[in-house]
Amino acid sequence: MKNLLKSIFVSSFPLFALIILFRSITNHLFHLNIAGLFIASISIVLFFSLLFIKPVARTSRTLSLYSIPILLGFIFNLIQINYPSIYISSLLLLGWLIYLFWYSVFENREKNMLELGEKITDLDFQNILNKTVTLSDFTGDYKILLFYRGNWCPLCMAQIKEIVNEYKELEKRNADVLLISSQPHSFTKSLAKKHHVPFHFLVDVKNKVAKKLKIIHENGLPFGFQLFGYESDVVMPTLIITDKNNKIIFADLTDNYRVRPEPSTFLKIIDDNNQ
């Protein structure tokens, strides 16, 4: 139920901010409280819009660049109290805090199955040709398994782009890169076509592997995205690096979907393991 509420929240909160932004712009009377609503709402709309217009692979936890003007907008409404502006301003601030410290966070992530030194038992995926492949089919000295939420996730797409830009460095280290999502094959094929690199674009059918590794995020898809063909259950962003024997040498199980490791981090992990 909590994840479903999160799904509804992340779809409705930006829409609410957009409505408030429109109303503050079309208000012909200038007041300090209207200015406060404008500053707070445009900050929220701008953040979510830029996620899709100019995706980034990671953000700070507190998003200070946006949090400060949102708080400032609330203060403006405290200085010149007007009803219902003070209520709306409070809702904008409260919604932003909920987004930062409730929606963005994964609580109690299960890490027992992904401890360093543990060997991953064989996992089954499907490639873009709908053919079943297993982890043992990849024979590189290292395997980088990136579990991403889907093409709809701008941070995931930005993270993948970062890794694509480092593909030559990964080739030098004889690393197999497995990009894994439970999204429909058509979306994965589209992503593979977009990035012309020797990576393995795989589908975790019905999240079988995600459930096995306990990285499943039930109802993690923003509400309404089902209309585009995505399933409601997705994966929590996870990065695993194994050696040739499939033993884990690095695992990032972020507790915040906006905080992810940079490619330089796992390149260093591989280099350190070679020493």
The burial of 107, by beta-carbon neighbours within 10 Å (0-12 exposed, 13-18 middle, 19 or more buried), is given as exposed
Backbone conformation region of residue 268, classed left if phi is above 0, alpha if psi is from -120 to 50, else beta: alpha
Q: Residue type at 211? A: K
Last residue of a domain, one of 103, 126, 143: 103
| pLDDT, tens only, 155-189 | 999 999 999 999 999 999 999 999 999 999 999 99
Q: Does residue 14 carry a pLDDT above 80? A: yes
Tell me the CA distances in angstroms from 163 to 29, 133, 144, 265, one per residue in order: 50, 22, 10, 11
Same domain? For 159 and 199 the reply is yes
What is the pLDDT, as a whole number, of residue 241?
96
Q: Tell me: do 73 and 134 sit in the same domain.
A: no
* pLDDT value of residue 2: 84
> Does residue 220 contact residue 148 with C-beta atoms inside 8 Å?
no
Question: Both 7 and 123 in a single domain?
Answer: no
173 and 257 belong to one structural domain = yes
Per-residue pLDDT band for 101 (boundaries 50, 70, 90) equals: very high
User: What's the number of domains the chain is made of?
Assistant: 2
Is residue 7 domain-shared with residue 92, that is, in the same domain? yes
Enter the pTM of the model: 0.93
Region 4-25 average pLDDT: 96
Residues 214 and 124 in one domain: yes
179, 252: one domain: yes
Domain boundary among 63, 86, 103: 103
116 and 225, same domain (yes or no): yes
How many whole angstroms separate alpha carbon 249 and alpha carbon 261?
Answer: 15
pLDDT band at 151 (very low <50, low <70, confident <90, very high): very high
Domain that holds residue 224: 112-274
CATH number at residue 250: 3.40.30.10
Q: Over the stretch 106-129, which tens digit does the pLDDT of each residue have?
A: 987 766 668 888 899 889 999 999
Closest alpha carbon to 201 in 187, 214, 216: 187
Assess whether 117 and 216 both reside in one domain: yes
Q: Output the pLDDT for position 112.
A: 61
Q: Using CA atoms, how far apart are residues 100 and 106, in angstroms rounded to an integer?
A: 11
Residues 92 and 213 in one domain: no
Task: Average the pLDDT over each of 59-73, 74-88, 157-171 and give the range with the smallest value.
Answer: 74-88
Q: Alpha-carbon distance 115 to 198, whole Å?
A: 28
Kind and range of the H or E run holding 49 = helix 32-53
Using the 3D structure, point to which of 44, 74, 103 is the last residue of a domain.
103
Q: 141 and 266: one domain?
A: yes
The predicted pLDDT at position 191 comes to 96
For the segment 75-104, the average pLDDT, to the nearest whole number, is 94
Whether residue 269 sits in one domain with residue 142: yes
pLDDT band at 205 (very low <50, low <70, confident <90, very high): very high
